Amino acid sequence: MSTWNKGFAMGAIGLTLFGLLAAGCGDANSSDASKKEDAGKKQIAGVQRIKERGVVKVGIGDTIKGFGYKESDGTITGIDADVAKAIAKDILGDENKIEFTTVTAKARGPVLDSDQVDFVIATYTVNEERKKSWDFSDIYYRDPVGFLVKKDSGITSAKELDGKTIAVQQGTTSRQGCEEWAKKYGIKLKYTEFPTDPEALSAMTSGRAAAYSTDSSILNSHMEGKPDLMLLPEKFAPQDYGIAVRKDNNELLTEINKVIKQLKESGELEKMIQKHHLVDFHDDATE
């Protein structure tokens, strides 16, 4: 091959390689831009997305009276439902422009992660571990953990539960609260976990567990019309309830906090607590 032909061939190869590299870089840049665009769509300002959709999507419990409970006609009642409706009214001007998705304690995080709901309000205790995965609103309710037992069990103090089995619900912080309390008093407890609140309650009433432990207001609601049940006097590990949103959904979180502040300052939140026969325990937990 002549010197000229060799030079021409080398030049052609160089141009080809440059074109391939440029195309590769272009694809990479295009891919990165596409990813950013998709992320942007998913993290579109929460309030704006709700307004465009015309409905607020909310994850809520449906088995706990006073908080989130499905009535016979299918409506969800309780303080969690009332606060969610107040948020819907603030954003869309109509508290009925709301769509509830019922969740178990264990499913609260997953429905947020999968983008099925805008926020979750379902007796959701705020703690540092959960803050790593989701952002939480200001506190709207405080409730310590307690123990519910059958009156005929003969148990009158939580310290008498030493060595006994406690029913707790999966995905809640109740077990952790019990463990910390038991360690403080040198008591050993065994645990059996259940997916839902009714199943954990049933374990206690059927004798498969000596007590059911969860937040005190929830236990109080189970005593309604059931004179054979009693709440033990010990209350501990105060649980702060907040509303969870996906990470970095700052606009929606700001709006939610604004509503919570308005409800507190206007006295409406206290009216909701009284309406549903709840007791905000503040710092009154006793051990």
**Pairing relationship of beta strands 119-120 and 56-60 according to DSSP bridges:** parallel
Q: What confidence score (pLDDT) does residue 279 get? A: 75
**Residue-level pLDDT at 32:** 52
User: Does the pLDDT of residue 18 top 70, yes or no?
Assistant: no
- Record the pTM: 0.76
Torsion from C-alpha of 123, 124, 127, 129, nearest 10 degrees: 150
68-70 and 76-77 as β-strands: parallel, antiparallel, unpaired? antiparallel
For domain 46-140+242-275, the CATH superfamily is Periplasmic binding protein-like II (3.40.190.10)
Q: Which residues of the chain form CATH 3.40.190.10?
A: 46-140+242-275, 144-239
The total of other beta-carbon atoms located within 10 Å of residue 68's CB is: 25
What does the block give as tokens for 95? 């508290």
Query: How many Å is the Cα radius of gyration of the chain?
Result: 27
pLDDT tier at 1 (50, 70, 90 boundaries)?
low
The set of residues, in sequence order, having a beta carbon less than 8 Å from that of 57 and lying 6+ positions away, is 98, 99, 101, 116, 117, 118
Burial (CB < 10 A; 0-12, 13-18, 19+), residue 191, is middle
Q: Domain 144-239 sits in which CATH superfamily?
A: Periplasmic binding protein-like II (3.40.190.10)
